[in-house]
């Protein structure tokens, strides 16, 4: 069943995100959280690709770096990071686009600009 995709890896990602949020708190730049989360995941022996380019095709024109996945963990889970006051519909659509283009089944949208990180985590399974 879809809700059981990569439970151990998901737990590792969430534990790492909580660790970063606990240490840094809200209000920093997205790039800071991205670097720190990458560091934590690498320290957990995860293969992490950062700022992965995804091509976009428009009327036969190929844009090799049309999109960028913030973090791609073990080529299984896409992580889109934000540091915004409120997540907007476009942020959810962005994650769905990345999942579709990468052909991944699981993704997380994590907003670090919240008092409690639990409020800032959304999991999407395709």
What confidence score (pLDDT) does residue 34 get?
98
Q: Give 4's pLDDT tier (boundaries 50, 70, 90).
A: low
Residue 2 has pLDDT above 90, yes or no: no
- What pLDDT, in 10s, does the model give residues 91-126? 999 999 999 999 999 999 999 999 999 999 999 998
- What pLDDT, in 10s, does the model give residues 35-67? 999 999 999 999 999 999 998 888 999 988 889
- What pLDDT, in 10s, does the model give residues 7-37? 999 999 999 999 999 999 999 999 999 999 9
Q: What is the dihedral of CA 26, 39, 82, 104, to 10 degrees?
A: -150
pTM across the whole model: 0.92
- Which tokens belong to 96? 């769905």
9 neighbors 46 (Cβ within 8 angstroms):
yes
**How many CA atoms within 13 Å lie on the side-chain side of 11?**
3
Residue 1 has pLDDT above 50, yes or no: no
């Amino acid at each position: 069943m879809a809700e059981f995709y990569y439970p151990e890896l998901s737990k590792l990602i969430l534990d790492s995100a909580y660790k970063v949020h606990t240490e840094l708190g809200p209000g920093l730049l997205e790039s800071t959280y991205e670097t720190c989360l990458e560091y934590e995941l690498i320290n957990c022996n995860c293969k992490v690709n950062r700022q992965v380019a995804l091509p976009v095709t428009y009327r036969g024109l190929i844009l090799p770096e049309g999109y960028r996945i913030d973090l791609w963990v073990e080529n299984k889970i896409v992580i889109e990071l934000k540091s915004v006051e409120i997540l907007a519909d476009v942020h959810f659509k962005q994650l769905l686009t990345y999942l579709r283009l990468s052909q991944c089944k699981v993704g997380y949208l994590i907003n670090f600009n919240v008092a409690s990180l639990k409020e800032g985590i959304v999991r999407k399974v395709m």
